[in-house]
Structure 1
Amino acid sequence: MGRAGRSVPWVEQLPGLRTIMDLNELLVFAKVVQAGSFTLAARGLRMPKSTVSRKVSELEERVGAQLLQRTTRKLRLTEVGQAYYEHCARIVAEAEQAELAVTRMQSAPHGLLRVTAPLAFNFMGSILAAFLTRYPEVQIEMVCTDRTVDLVEEGFDLAVRAGRLPDSSSLIARRLGSIERGVMASPRYIQERGAPKSPKELAAHDCLLFGVGTGGNVWSLVSGNRSAEVSIRARLTVNEPDMLRAVTLAGFGIALLPNSLYAEDIATGRMQRILPEWSSPGASVHALYPVTRHHSPKVMAFVDFLREHWPNP
């Protein structure tokens, strides 16, 4: 019992908590940190910027510590703020997961789905078109980049990634299939320069590389139990897949290209496989999404759809 027989809420009795905890303040604070600014957080929360700023100020007053250092260009967490944010982020994530599980578990997929994938995955266009046809209430924002996107910090629902995945307790990975690349060139190049008969002969040819700054001037190839590593001479290095295809078709060199992406070019004779028994080691491809999205119908529908339609299971 409090003064004059008044019952005091338990949170008022905790050291350092002088008023009743406002979970809205925790949510606003976490969103400000994740967005990196009051303006972006206000936009995401659909609140006036003044309200967002006031909520954070009231939170700092209640806990008795400065949580954010404010400058004209950037917000930065204080040491106390960093520790407080880590707890707030977990609380907000749990609340969002509970909301999704209760209110949306039974609903049909709808709303905006933010996805990121590597630049080389432009073959996903046909998969996206088929998904949008099946789920007309879903809108997709697809960002293609070879930068490793922080899904939680940048507000993405899902990433499609190839290769080894880092350990993470906040993300769930579902395997989609693999990407295997073959050695290819146009008939024009083969007519002018001839075709190598073994991997080591690639070193004497003009080659076309995908991925600027990736150190890809060594090609690793496998054929059954055999393996080969070849240092190649790059006539062109580019990080845009359509440009790489155009230059390859024009006959300027040999490229190591995804088999599934160029199947039509091979079938029509625009491109030819060189050393068809050799290919790059298959790289596993995964769909990666935050644990808070595990009960989201649109995310789960998209993951299942990708697994169903991935060209190389």
Structure 2
Amino acid sequence: MPRILMERSGEMEVFARVVQEGGFSAAARSLDITPSAVSKLIARLETRLGARLLVRTTRALTLTEEGEAYHHAALKILQALNDADQEASGGAVRGRLRVNTTIPFGTMFVAPAIPAFMARNPDLIVDLSFTDGIVDLVAEKTDVAIRTGNLPDSGLIARKLGQSRRIICAAPGYLDHAGTPATPADLERHDCLTFNFRRARPSWPFRYEGREITQAVTGRLVINNGETMKQMVLAGAGIARLGLFHVAADIAAGRLVPLLEDFNPGDLELIHAIYIGGGPLPHRVRAFIEYMVEALDETPLLKGKA
């Protein structure tokens, strides 16, 4: 029985790596085995399960419906095995830590903190990715993701790292030719930059005549990440709503101008570290989150302050 269990975990690891790398040859290189060995392992796995998991063509590799289900389950099992190893290691912070963060926050706060964190934990490998899109932590084998804004209901665990005011702003050059909005309704006549990963109709919150309102906004440019949006605002492409932590230096230098501040309803952007719950938190994840809490604790821009 132990031999059979060992073979199963090995097959899962190879299968997951094939999916992650997108092919047999790439998986073989990452695992330091031959492509024929990978092919034999996958064939043995499919024979044992009695189901085809992968559709292989000269151009692409695609998961079947059974393959999707097995891949999802295999990732959970491999993560549990890794967590068990971590728990049995007596608290040592080692292994590979996969972190995904938004581009603005990652550039400004996470990346500068990583070298000191790695120096404190010399047996740890950090795998760092930046994206503003939604990440499936299980499918992407991500240990912790850092996200801004309201979190959707899910089975994930969240640890608050900070919060920042959101601010509406534009470059002086844009305001020179388009005019400065005096009320929220004036935004209807302006190019407002929005994110293309928001499903709902873009609207911004305000406090107007003593009540909370939302103002629908439109524009000719939609963007998939905050850093590109800031660059477009700086270039005079329109008006944007961004985290103050992201644009405070540009406002202080006069490159951007805050707008409609008298109507700001206390618009806050929450910042969380999120991770998968349901078991002991791996030491590498706990160490990283605690380190980021410590590193960000004295940052005024992440306390919702102006």
Scaled by the length of structure 1, the TM-score of the pair is: 0.73
CA contact (8 A) 1:207 1:253 kept: yes
How far apart are the structure 1 equivalents of 2:117 and 2:74?
Answer: 37
**Is residue 2:186 matched to residue 1:196?**
no
Q: Could you say which residue in structure 1 is the equivalent of 2:98?
A: 114
Match of 1:220 among 204, 213, 229: 204
**Per-residue displacement from partner, 1:237-258 (whole Å, max 9, x unpaired)?**
3335444333423444322121
Distance in 2 between the 1:87 and 1:112 partners? 20
Q: Give yes or no for contact 1:210–1:241 (8 Å, CA) kept in 2.
A: no
CA contact (8 A) 2:173 2:236 kept: yes
The answer to whether structure 1 residue 165 and structure 2 residue 152 are counterparts is yes
Counterpart Cα distance in 2 of 1:179 and 1:283:
5
Q: How does 1:25-44 map to 2 (within 5 A)?
A: 25-35=7-17, 36=19, 37-44=23-30
Work out whether residues 87 and 283 of structure 2, in 8 Å CA contact, stay in contact via their aligned partners in 1. Answer: no
Query: How far apart, in 2, do the equivalents of 1:240 and 1:194 lie?
Result: 26
Task: Say whether residues 1:133 and 2:116 are aligned partners.
Answer: yes
Q: 1:255 to 1:133 in 2, by over 3 A?
A: same
1:300 to 274, 281, 286: 286
Once the two structures are TM-superposed, the CA of residue 259 in structure 1 deviates from its matched residue by 1.0
Post-superposition offset of 1:71: 3.0
Q: How does 1:42-81 map to 2 (within 5 A)?
A: 42-58=28-44, 63=48, 65-66=50-51, 68=53, 70-72=55-57, 73-74=60-61, 76=63
Describe the SS at the equivalent of 2:50.
coil
C-alpha distance in 1 between matches for 2:152 and 2:70? 29
Match of residue 6 from structure 1: none
What amino acid does structure 2 have at the position aligned with 1:261? H
For the pair 1:102 / 2:88, whether they are aligned, the reply is yes
Are residues 1:147 and 2:130 paired?
Answer: no
Task: Report the alpha carbon displacement of residue 101 of structure 1 after superposing the two structures with TM.
Answer: 0.5
Q: Which runs of 5 or more residues in structure 2 are unaligned?
A: none
User: Taking structure 2 as the reference length, what is the TM-score of the superposition?
Assistant: 0.74
* Alignment RMSD: 3.6
Count of residue pairs the alignment pairs up = 287
CA separation in 1, counterparts of 2:171 and 2:16?
A: 48
Bigger drift between 159-168 and 237-246 goes to 237-246
C-alpha change, 1:67 and 1:188, in structure 2 (3 Å) is closer
CA shift at 1:274, angstroms? 1.2
Which range is displaced more, 296-305 or 267-276? Answer: 296-305
Native 8 Å contact 2:163 2:269 kept in 1: yes
Which residue of 1 is the match for residue 214 of structure 2?
Answer: 229
Whether contact under 8 Å (1:159, 1:288) holds in the other structure is yes
